[in-house]
Structure 1
Amino acid sequence: MEVFEEFLSGIDDLQQRNRMEEVFAWIIKKFPNLTPVIKWNQPMFTDHGTYIIGFSVAKKHMSVAPERAAMERFSDEIVQAGYDHTKELMRIQWKHPIDFILLEKMIDFNILDKAGCSTFWR
């Protein structure tokens, strides 16, 4: 988790920082083969050098960006979870619970879908 320390220390709101730490710790435990990295000042996880999922922080929400293919694949479940979304990311309001099952499905999908990918982005 130390790769994210500087990013996390820049989050002034302690509850938001703790929430991000919770998500990162969960991913690190659940997917130990993923590599945590900071690129473009954003925390993300990669697999064999290809992007799997990334995060950013806003005043009212955390953004989760699993790339468009995963967003399209899970769009119905994103809506069912009550998350706002675009074609590229979903927004989890700080006051809403994190749907870790949905997050796991997105990460699993990207790992499998990008197994043969040799580029960072799709």
Structure 2
Amino acid sequence: MEVFKDYLAKIDDPNQKERMETVLNWVKQTFPQLEPVVKWNQPMFQDHGTFIIAFSMAKHHMSIAPERVALEQFLDEIKEAGYETTKELLKIKWKEQVDYQLLEKMIAFNIEDKQNYTKFWR
């Protein structure tokens, strides 16, 4: 996706770059109605101007930020998948598999939960 081109170009590790690009492309293919944007130097997706999910990278993991409400909604499944969490995000280590089914559930939840929401953040 063109909108993420500059962000991805800054990733030095080719495996991390490929992983990030794969996940971002998967989101766009699975949820084509979502608008890909870069805000606060993070790739994210929004729906009718409201935040749905964001991604960022760290040395040892990819961070996924679905907002606290969605994180809490799926906390048991996140822990079952073996991912670490903070108040606002989950961490997928670069060597761990991405649970796309769980990711799909979180994104679908946010789309549904925020369908009449008019602000960016909850």
TM-based fold match above 0.5: yes
Paired residue for 1:69?
Answer: 69
Equivalent pairs counted in the alignment come to 122
Structure 1 regions of 5+ residues with no counterpart? none
CA–CA distance in structure 1, aligned partners of residues 41 and 87 of structure 2: 21
CA–CA distance in structure 1, aligned partners of residues 17 and 62 of structure 2: 10
Give the C-alpha shift of residue 79 in structure 1: 0.2
Task: State the Cα deviation string for residues 7-44 of structure 1 (Å, max 9, x = none).
Answer: 00000000000000100110111000000000011100
Mapping for residues 1-122 of structure 1, pairs under 5 Å:
1-122=1-122
CA–CA distance in structure 1, aligned partners of residues 110 and 86 of structure 2: 18
What code does the residue aligned with 2:81 have? Answer: A
What code does the residue aligned with 1:103 have? Answer: L
Tell me, what secondary structure is at the counterpart of 1:115? Answer: coil
What value does the CA root-mean-square deviation take over the aligned residues? 0.4
Tell me, what secondary structure is at the counterpart of 2:32? Answer: coil
Give the C-alpha shift of residue 87 in structure 1: 1.6
Q: TM-score, normalised by structure 1?
A: 0.99
Tell me, what secondary structure is at the counterpart of 1:98? Answer: coil
